[in-house]
Amino acid sequence: MPSKLTAPRGTQDILPPQSGAWLELESRIHDLARRFGYAEIRTPVFEGTELFVRGVGETTDIVEKEMYTFLDKGERSMTLRPEFTAPVMRAALEHNLFSQGPQRLYYVGPIFRYERPQKGRYRQAHQFGVECTGFSGPEADAEVIALAWELVRSYGLTDATLNVNSIGDDVCRPRYRQALLEHFRPHAAELSADSQRRLEKNPLRLLDSKDERDRPFVESAPAFASVLCDACREHDDALQALLSACGIPFVVNSRIVRGLDYYTRTVFEITSSALGAQSTVCGGGRYDGLVKSLGGPDVPAVGFALGLERFLMMAEAVHGARVAPRDGVQAIALGAQARAVALPMVMELRRLLRAPVFMDFDDRKLLAHLKIADRNKARYALILGSDELAAGTVVVRDLETREDRRVPLGRAADVAAALGESRA
């Protein structure tokens, strides 16, 4: 017996009716981004490996241990995209978008990270994110945060918290680095292996550690706010004032640093108690140095990435599994002769109605057809048996109220109109 074929570890098949919740989320995302003036960008699922090494940063979890890297048949090192920001900036640079002024771009799609699969953590996951480039002031930070928050708000995810922090710039980051080094060095031997290795290279990363051994030292670490330079302090104060003015609730959380190396000043995360250990659904911030480090002009940028799997987990925790409302029509033809009459009408109804029109082609009793209608969550049944055929009518049954109406079996447009009437 051949072994059973299964999806790769850490990946998920998204089946109906769950796929309905995905489609709904994606369509709300496209609508929301459009209302904020963001246009969609699509980039390849794989890129040359160097893009991520340079664009994400060598001391990050992603580059250190999570990339799906392979040699293609031409011996080039390729990597399945573990995140979108570097590819989006690569594409914007390659196609000269930055010379056309500020850009507002968004994306939705899969990312790939070789992680230990667990609840809310997969090897193929999906992200929605935005990148706003060309503005160095706090208004862009506020806009990007407002966009992410609006998605959370519109879903009524009341258990979500917006955490903001500043991690400074070239002027004050070295001071903070020093303060952290002095804080962690005396305890170096007690830290996790990852943190020991990162301590001298990038002590900020230690604040991001999820390792229990690091926790007490992370909790007692100094906050960046104590060493922010005047320009960064001003930026941060202005952002907080804008968020308040927009009615967006937030908490200042000095432990938020983000895992990627390219952030400057603003960093933020949206967390939820509904998610368990993987409590962050959305992370973002400002990364003014990234485009330049990829060989481009000095273009400031701010953005976020939001995990769709975790977002849907939050939605389900708050609202329960999605219950789709009844919608559409089940055409029920009893017998071959009725089917022959019903089928062309069904095809035409599918052109006339926005709602789905279902039809089962097997010989079954009416009751069995009605069961299928329930499974399809149809709102109406259109019943055509031999009596109806003889009388030249069709029965329109409202499956919610159980009311029957007879409609002449003529043009589909009349039936569509009858359904339209019953729906009103």
Residues lying near ligand ATP in the complex (CB under 6 A) are found at 83, 113, 115, 120-122, 125, 127, 259, 278, 280-283, 305, 307, 309-310
Cβ closest to ligand ATP, residue 125 vs residue 334? 125
- 223 with 204: CB under 8 angstroms? no
DSSP run (H or E) holding 178: helix 173-184
CB of 2 to ligand ATP, least distance (A): 30
CB of 65 to ligand ATP, least distance (A): 11
Please, what is the end-to-end C-alpha distance for the chain in angstroms?
57
- DSSP-assigned states of every residue in 267-295: EEEEEEGGGTTS-EEEEEEE-TTHHHHTT
Tokens coding 289: 């140095």
Cβ closest to ligand ATP, residue 43 vs residue 278? 278
CB of 207 to ligand ATP, least distance (A): 12
**Residue whose CB is nearest to ligand ATP in the complex, by number:** 307
Tokens coding 6: 């299964």
CB of 381 to ligand ATP, least distance (A): 41
CB of 82 to ligand ATP, least distance (A): 8
Distance of alpha carbon 398 from alpha carbon 345, whole angstroms: 19
CB of 193 to ligand ATP, least distance (A): 18
Residue 220's CB is within 10 A of a number of other CB atoms, namely: 10
Cβ closest to ligand ATP, residue 37 vs residue 276? 276
- 279 with 272: CB under 8 angstroms? yes
Cβ closest to ligand ATP, residue 197 vs residue 364? 197
Query: Helix, strand or coil for residue 383?
Result: strand
Gyration radius of the chain over CA positions: 28
CB of 121 to ligand ATP, least distance (A): 4
Tokens coding 346: 């069904």
Apex 306 CA angle, 305 and 308, nearest 5: 140
Cβ closest to ligand ATP, residue 53 vs residue 394? 53
Type of residue at 366: L
Cβ closest to ligand ATP, residue 145 vs residue 334? 145
DSSP run (H or E) holding 219: helix 215-219
For helices 85-94 and 49-56, the axis angle rounded to 10 degrees is 110
Cβ closest to ligand ATP, residue 117 vs residue 385? 117
For the stretch 350-354, contacts whose Cβ atoms lie closer than 8 Å and that sit 24 or more positions apart, written own/partner, are 352/412, 352/413, 352/416, 353/328, 353/329, 353/416, 353/419
Question: CA-CA-CA-CA torsion for 10, 15, 18, 22, nearest 10 degrees?
Answer: 70
Cβ closest to ligand ATP, residue 82 vs residue 300? 82
CB of 324 to ligand ATP, least distance (A): 25
Helices (H) and strands (E) in the chain, counts: 15, 16
**CA-to-CA dists, residue 247 to 108, 137, 142, 240, 251, angstroms:** 27, 19, 11, 11, 13
Tokens coding 250: 């937030």
CB of 68 to ligand ATP, least distance (A): 12
CB of 234 to ligand ATP, least distance (A): 26
Query: Helix, strand or coil for residue 166?
Result: strand
Distance of alpha carbon 329 from alpha carbon 359, whole angstroms: 9
Cβ closest to ligand ATP, residue 202 vs residue 330? 202
Cβ closest to ligand ATP, residue 115 vs residue 159? 115
CB of 387 to ligand ATP, least distance (A): 56
Length of the chain equals 424
Cβ closest to ligand ATP, residue 52 vs residue 135? 52
